[in-house]
Structures are given as structure tokens and as C-alpha cells.
Amino acid sequence: MSRKSFGRKLWLYFALFAAVLTASLWLMQIVFLQSFYERMKTADVKKIAATIVREYGSEDFADTLNELTFRNAVLVVIRDARGEIAHFSDEHDWQDRPGPGWGGNFDGLRPRGADQPRGRTLVYNAALPDGGVATISTPLEPLNATTAILRTQLVYVTAAALLLSFVLAFFIARKFSRPVAAITEQAARPANGEFDLKLEKGFCAELDSLADTISETAAELSKAEKLRRELLANISHDLRTPLTMIKAYAELIRDISGGDKEKRDAGLAVISRESDRLMALVNDILDISVLQSGSERMKPATFSLSETARKVLAHWKPVCEAEGITLTAELEPDQYVYADEARLTQVLYNFISNAAAHAGGERRIDAALTDTGGGLRFTVSDRGEGIPADELPLIWDRYYRSARGGGGTGLGLAIAKEILTAHDARFGAESSPGAGSTFWFELGK
């Protein structure tokens, strides 16, 4: 077992707890018992004195005095104002018990059979109403014998308790460390590409929650790994296609076109178009990398979202017309927001580009900018085939490309998501298969 392992530390903590508990028991039963006992006896003696003063002179005072001494194991000597003993009461049978008029020294009293010096005695004097004095005393030495017995008993109890606690701590530590070790072993598997985890549950709620979290993380990693592979396959295909065409037309121009300007211009147009496509692809990859790394901060400023949306739609209008797509727009004028205009323009482009790729049979796109009262809402709707319900939550994933096709790398909406998230914007998509889709975002004013 490693020195820093969970099981070893748990065992040490349990052992330390047992040691502290035993030490506390020793302190309370041996070290502090004497002082605690003396405080309690002092309080009892003071209560007895108060009772004697209160009952002094009553008809049954002698009976009260005898009851107090017997019940509390004390000796009481009451002297009158002249110093003579008026009353004497003791729980024990004392030798040389003084009679009336005894004027001897109180400290000279000894219990019967005592042939050794007396131990510590608690003595308390209380003034009586007639000028006399009530002297109450009680021996403290019986506690010494009790302490010695307790000390001997605690030696055996401590040894047994420590041994038992160490053994129990060992088994408890093993019981707790086994499921933790099993979870640790399973949690290391995703690093090797193994995402099918087998986590046992039922030991305790906290470890069950940890197991659920690890299982969910492994599932997400598995999904991300699958999408990453799909992205690499898609990007490899998308990169290969323009590069192949660029290379082919460059060789065509070199080997065949020669002085034929028409063929040469057509080939150069293909090269230019495919170069732009390749550049757009590379830019998307760079954008998503920069946005997700957090290395670029938004540069917000106040600008007219109405004017920005108008410019984006004006750019796309001839493109859509060339594809036979009708683009309509309803933009409320003079609507200002505080945001990064360049990045928000990119979101608008991506939304329109996505709608154009899925315009459907009706070949129609509707864009709108409205004031909701709490913010500005921009929507883009297409009349395409729609998105299946099981795919709708995935469309914002960075590696996802919908099964409905449409080209691209699947990064446009992921880039939009990162930009809108950085602006604390609300966004979403609504779709029904066969009825088209609507993408929207809302920014505070």
C-alpha cells in the first residue's frame, strides 16, 4: 500500500482518532478528575452550610444535621459564640468523640483505627445567626484510591481499545479504498481510447455520484472522439477536392491551354474558386481553434445591428439569386447593441450560409430583426427538409455535420455558438422534418 494511498491515509486518520479519544479519556478520568471532584465537593459543602444556617435553631435541627452528614459523608461541628461545641455530627464512628463543653482542637480528630497521617481534608466555616460557627469538613483521600483503580483499569482499556481500533481501521480503510481503486482503474481507460467503462455502484452515494460523473464524461469523450474522426474524414475529403482541382487545372493550363485564352481563363477561374473554398475551410478551422482556446477576447462597441444585418443580406442577395433562392428581410431600423461587430457579422454570415445550403424545394430564406423589449432577436428561416429531432441537440457541436448534407465542414454553427456564448447571448434552433428550420439569437440592448 502506497504511503499516500487513500486506504493508508484513512487507516492513519482512524488510528489517530482512536489515540486522541483515548488520550481525552485519560485526561478526563485521571488528570482532571481530582480538580473536578474538589469543585463538586466544595459546591456540596457550601449547600450543606447554607442549609445548616437556614435550619439552625429549629426544633428538629439535630435530626436535620444527622441526615445531612449521613447523606453527604461530612463531619459537622457547631460551636456557639463562646467557642464551645454545641452540636457534633459525623457519618462515621469516631474515637474520642467529644461531649458537651468539649473545647479541644477540631483538627485533632481521627477516624477509628487510623494509624497513619490523614490525607487532604476540605474544611468550610459558616457563621451562624447567634454568633457561632458551623465547621464542615470532608476527607478527599478516597478519591486517590479511586484514581489508582481507574488508572489501572484504563491501562487495560486503552491497550484493548487501541488494538481494536487499529484492526477495525485497517478493515474499514480496505473497505473504502477498494471501490475508490476500482473507479480509479476504470477512469484511466478513456486515456487509452477505451470508453466502455464498467463501474460498480452501491457502496455509498458519493462514490455512486462519482461513478455516474465518470461514466457521463466517458460517454461525452466517446462522442467527441467519434465526431473528431468524422471531422478529420470530412476535412480530408474537403481539402483533397479543391487541391486536386487546383492541381489538375494548373497542369491543364500548363500542358493543354497554351495560347487558348478562353480555356486558360476558365481554368484560372476554377483555380481561383477552389482556392477561395480552401481558404474558407482553413479560416473556419483557425476560427474555431482560436475561439475555443480563449486566446482571443471579444472587442465590444456600440453599433447598429440593423445596418450590419442589412449589409450582410445585401452581400448574400445576389448569391442567393444566382442559386434561385428568394431572400426576404424585415429589419427594424436603428437597433443598437454593445458587441463585437466583426464577430457578430460572422454569425450572421454563418446563419445565412447555413440557410442557403438547406433552402429546400421552395428556395426561400426569411430573415428578421425584431425588438423583443428585453433585447434584439435575429432569426433566419429556411424552407428545407428540416432537422430530425434526435439531431437537433447536436447541430452546435464542433465536429457535427448533419446527415441532411449541405456541404461545409460542420464548423459554421460551432463558430457561431462560441461567439454568441462569449457575448452571453441566448440562441437556439427550431425545426420540424419537412417544414424547414429557424435559427435565432437574442442580444441585450
How high is the pLDDT of residue 242? 76
Could you tell me which residues are beta bridge partners of residue 381? 366, 438
How high is the pLDDT of residue 152? 77
Residue ranges covered by each domain of the chain: 1-91+116-187, 205-293, 301-444
Q: Which CATH superfamily is domain 301-444 in?
A: Histidine kinase-like ATPase, C-terminal domain (3.30.565.10)
Q: What confidence tens digit (pLDDT) does each residue in 74-126 have?
A: 889 999 888 888 888 876 544 334 433 333 333 433 333 334 345 678 889 99
Q: What confidence tens digit (pLDDT) does each residue in 274-324 have?
A: 787 778 777 777 777 777 777 678 889 999 999 999 999 999 999 898 889
**Which residues are CB-contacts of 148 (< 8 A; sequence separation ≥ 6)?**
none
What DSSP string describes 125-186? EEE-TTS-EEEEEEE-THHHHHHHHHHHHHHHHHHHHHHHHHHHHHHHHHHHHHHHHHHHHH
Please check the confidence at residue 141 and state whether its pLDDT lies above 70: no
CATH fold match for the domains 205-293 and 301-444: no
How high is the pLDDT of residue 260? 73
Q: How far is CA 278 from CA 251, 272, 292, 293, 310, in A?
A: 18, 10, 22, 23, 27
What CATH number should be reported for the domain whose range is 205-293?
1.10.287.130
Handedness of CA 377, 382, 388, 394 (dihedral sign): negative
pTM over 0.95: no
